[in-house]
Amino acid sequence: MGTDMNINKRVAVNEFSKSEAGKLLAEVFFRELQFISGETLLDKLIVHNHGMNRRVLSQDVLDTQTEDLPGTSKVQIVLHLARNGIYHQLPEFLFHPISLSSPGMTNNEIVAAMRANRKKEEKTIKFFQPFDTAFFKDGVSIFKRSLDLFNSPYANRILQNVSSLFYSKATPLTQGEKYRLFLFLCQAEDLKENLSALENVLYTVLCMQVSLKYKSHNIKEPPYGTLGTCRLGLNSGLSGSFASELDDVEAKLCFKKNIESEKVLKEKMDAVRFILSFFIVSARHIDIIYTVKSNTEFVLGTNFLGYDTNL
């Protein structure tokens, strides 16, 4: 039964390496290979780097082989990669003579020298295989960490630390709301002053409906002195109210049920102001109003005005 299982896994590995998955990055390919086999293969992995040349630049994984370890029932997986290993990075003269031929050598002697040089190259590459394999395993672990970064974003310490760089400690948002807002901050330039898009941002972050619109900002108390106390061209101006060049933003919170307490309402208002502060010009004033869409009917004579009665 164990032999049949090994045969099935070998066939699966062979078919997988010959499929379109063979064109993936080696680290991604190996992760998918582990998923197909249903087990962790790091302890069975051997990496064989063949060096880079123009023929293999378009593909990272050249081949995958399964080999039986002599005298044991264990199997090792050899991953042939079109990458430079430690041997390929080191100077060639450390392992091979500068010139294979010398004056007076016959053709047979030159061919024999080339074969010996080739065997020495294979032997040296095999010597560095454990080190190349260790480096590749580290690369797989690093790549796994980057791929799993967003699997549990609310509990990921890296994302928490990164998102905390944009927020103060007194942020009126939960950890989940911070993370969702952090994703939108990457598109801040496109979302800036775009009220329709910001409504979607608020709904995604706070999970509540918010309507946004511009409203005129009227200045009723002008910052000018009264007649006789000001100087022309310095601090004098027209009296009376006037409209500012910059409009305000009105945010209307839509609650689907009765508000539990004033504290909840204040927290929602603070959260909306905080989120809009990243996308709205700071000179704009943000007015917040709210409405409740739930049924607030009451029976006349059984309720108390100002206590459990909503007009």
Domain layout of the chain by residue ranges: 2-147, 187-225+237-292
pTM: 0.50
Q: Measured between alpha carbons, how far is 24 from 78 in angstroms, rounded to an integer? A: 17
Q: What is the pLDDT of residues 120-139, one digit of tens each?
A: 888 888 898 899 999 998 88
Average pLDDT, the chain: 79
Residue 256: per-residue pLDDT: 81
**Helix 175-185 and helix 195-206, axial crossing angle in degrees, nearest 10:** 150
pLDDT tier, 20 (very low <50, low <70, confident <90, very high otherwise):
confident
Question: According to the model, what pLDDT value does residue 2 have?
Answer: 43
Give the model confidence (pLDDT) of 239-270 as tens digits. 666 677 788 899 999 888 877 788 888 989 99
Burial 57-66 (b: 16+ CB within 10 A, else e): eeebbbebeb
Backbone angles phi, psi at 75, to 5 degrees: -125, 140
**What local confidence, expressed as pLDDT, does residue 155 receive?**
65
The 8-class DSSP code of residue 24 comes to: S
Q: Tell me the DSSP string of 178-226.
A: HHHHHHHHTTHHHHTT-HHHHHHHHHHHHSSEEEEEEE--EESS-S-PP
Average pLDDT over residues 50-69: 76
pLDDT-wise least confident of 2-16, 32-46, 199-213: 2-16
Which pLDDT value is given to residue 252? 92
Q: If you average pLDDT over residues 195-205, what whole number do you get?
A: 92
| Closest residue by Cα to residue 47 from 31, 64, 24 | 64
| Averaged pLDDT for residues 151-159 | 67
Q: What percent of the chain lies above the pLDDT cut of 70? A: 75
pLDDT given at position 181: 87
pLDDT the model gives residue 145: 72
Q: Which CATH class is domain 187-225+237-292?
A: alpha beta
